[in-house]
Structure 1
């Protein structure tokens, strides 16, 4: 039970009925965030059993947009949930039995891991990294901690949740007075409103017709040639090499190899496609791309397109200067070595002299400033 000094001052709105309903909403948001986050991690670092399709081309745009949106919407839900249960953390005895110890431990682990995940995730979508650890690995590992702690917490609290949900939200428990200020229904309505506002403030990153109200979205969909840029040519250190007169794109399959100038790439049959760039930070924007089909380019060195491909950038450093393209994407009609963007020559910041654009891929894997394409045996 709570100490009398705390019990006398606790608001009736801090009730199991409120905590249970907010907890359900938070659990749904966390589950969506967890599943879509797993997909994003596996696409970038695929286990041997994992296969991500090339179509529909907008699927990653939806899953990653949903990942960021559910994470942002979980923030007000977590704050309200903590507000509703915080005084009860001081109930006595602090550790009554092993089950109580498990409950307290799961709460501590859950709260700590959730705060870590939401805080670092929010910083990531703003591309702000004040820490020294590698964000993707830490975020991925802690996601399992948070989801596991949530599962344990729900299992321990299930009887209380069932009891709380069995009563109307406005009905106080036997040991609680009726609320005198904001009603519990009013509090839940405010929670819905806060969660909706938080979602709308960033949803425009992925949903074009909501961009006008995406006031907190780091990316608005605008940028050079109508498309945002995360990493410029200057930041990548390729300004000179990308413009060099001796630039060549090397295409290699086994012992067969060809080196293409930009002009030679332009002389090959050209194909156009409308595809989105969808980044891990949650923003996405569709654009009109044109260039050479990758499978047609590989055919010039006798490759069939049945193997994965290694794609190399002119960048000399960086996590994504070398990426792997699965065979399912290699053979797809819409996978291009792009030379033009929105009916204009590809700008330097968007990957000039040429870049990869493939359907249903994270933006970090859409390699810019290509130097080599190699078929993996």
Structure 2
């Protein structure tokens, strides 16, 4: 292998195979957590056929924990990836670029892996700030890139398996590492640990309540917003008008369809629950909600216990104006058509006059400005 002469060369122990292996293990762990929690989030947002009726509503904070881990592991992966690339530089640009079929396979998978991972993390970070610089769907591309990364990583690991195995232990069998070399490697790893710890601590407060006071890098404070909760889409952004709210009725379509005014809805038995709202951007916050149980509304429409539900919003702009609710949620007594938040009537930005709140459910599916509930066959 020859390194082009115009590239700087690094020969220290912080660039040897052992260091590359150690950093790679840490990066792999972060990416694995990020991938698994991302898959879970995707399944909860778009349940596949086999999951019908099997989505868990407990623990009630499950999505808050997993999506918080998703954001935390993704942010932690940024310094890990940068250090990983630094440890293998400039071997990334070795010449000739292809020496054999196996080498071509390794180089190709590596190019795809590096490019896809950089793009995935970059898009994920911008998503936490809801800053979209691209014309395509973030969620679909983010999901697809995750599988591209997984495939490229498996190929890369298969090709590099002998080298990884040889340097997995502290020192290769039959060798003794000079003390100076160990110090150099430890210094790099301590610096990396400090960087990962720092970016984690100053951003994790979006979902880890005890760390809220340390939020520096997170784009939003989960305790800031109308009625003590952030808002992703305001009523104005959703196209909600004063006439919409003035003439509002709740229409329930089922075997025995009916309509309710807001006064009639408030006259029904009210229930109070404490549930978190957790968004795909990584922030979450627990709150007190009051309203009518969805199961009671469906029973009044003559629907069977645990009927699936389609929820329609008044909103005119933005995604998720219509969502579907699995029977595991509709039969759960904690699932409400909420009318009040933290002791006060819902503000327009939080979905006045009525919104959905359910346990262990993504925030984008906690539909606001609900105007129609449709019992599904």
Query: Shorter-normalised TM-score: what interval?
Result: over 0.9
Q: CA deviation at 1:188?
A: 0.6
Match of 1:28 in 2: 29
From the superposition, tell whether residues 167 and 295 of structure 1 become closer, same or farther in structure 2 (CA, over 3 Å). Answer: closer
Which of 225, 228, 235 is the equivalent residue of 1:226?
228
Q: CA deviation at 1:240?
A: 1.6
Match of 2:150 in 1: 147
Matched, 1:215 2:221: no
**Where does structure 1 lack aligned partners over 5 or more consecutive residues?**
none
Q: Judge conservation of contact 1:242–1:352 (CA < 8 Å) in 2.
A: no
1:236 is paired with a residue whose SS is: coil
Summarize the alignment of residues 192-211 of structure 1 with structure 2, pairs less than 5 Å apart.
Answer: 192-211=193-212
How many residues are aligned here? 372
Q: Judge conservation of contact 2:320–2:364 (CA < 8 Å) in 1.
A: yes
Distance of 1:109 and 1:343 partners within structure 2: 51
Which of 66, 85, 88 is the equivalent residue of 1:85?
88
Match of 1:319 in 2: 319
Q: Judge conservation of contact 1:253–1:301 (CA < 8 Å) in 2.
A: yes
Distance of 1:288 and 1:177 partners within structure 2: 58
Distance of 2:185 and 2:322 partners within structure 1: 54
Distance of 1:241 and 1:173 partners within structure 2: 79
Which deviates more from structure 2 when the two are superposed, residues 4-13 or residues 196-205? 4-13
Q: Segments of 4+ in structure 1 off by > 4 A?
A: 4-8, 171-174, 176-180
1:364 is paired with a residue whose SS is: helix
Structure 2 length-normalised TM? 0.94
Structure 1 length-normalised TM? 0.94
Distance of 2:200 and 2:175 partners within structure 1: 31
Summarize the alignment of residues 149-298 of structure 1 with structure 2, pairs less than 5 Å apart.
Answer: 149-168=152-171, 183-221=184-222, 222-244=224-246, 246-254=247-255, 256-298=256-298
Match of 2:123 in 1: 120
From the superposition, tell whether residues 4 and 331 of structure 1 become closer, same or farther in structure 2 (CA, over 3 Å). Answer: closer
Deviation digits for residues 160-203 of structure 1 (CA, Å, limit 9, x no counterpart): 1122223449x9999x99659x7110001111111111111211
Distance of 2:134 and 2:115 partners within structure 1: 17
Match of 2:300 in 1: 300
Which deviates more from structure 2 when the two are superposed, residues 276-285 or residues 13-22? 13-22
Deviation digits for residues 354-375 of structure 1 (CA, Å, limit 9, x no counterpart): 1111111111000000110010
RMSD (Å), alpha carbons: 2.2
Distance of 1:80 and 1:66 partners within structure 2: 21
Distance of 1:208 and 1:149 partners within structure 2: 36
From the superposition, tell whether residues 362 and 11 of structure 1 become closer, same or farther in structure 2 (CA, over 3 Å). Answer: same
Distance of 2:249 and 2:83 partners within structure 1: 57
Distance of 2:244 and 2:18 partners within structure 1: 61
Q: CA deviation at 1:64?
A: 0.7
Distance of 1:235 and 1:156 partners within structure 2: 50
2:89 is paired with a residue whose SS is: helix
1:232 is paired with a residue whose SS is: coil
Match of 1:331 in 2: 331
**Where does structure 2 lack aligned partners over 5 or more consecutive residues?**
none
Q: Judge conservation of contact 1:172–1:178 (CA < 8 Å) in 2.
A: no
Match of 2:351 in 1: 351
Deviation digits for residues 292-344 of structure 1 (CA, Å, limit 9, x no counterpart): 01111112111123221000000124320000000100010100010110011
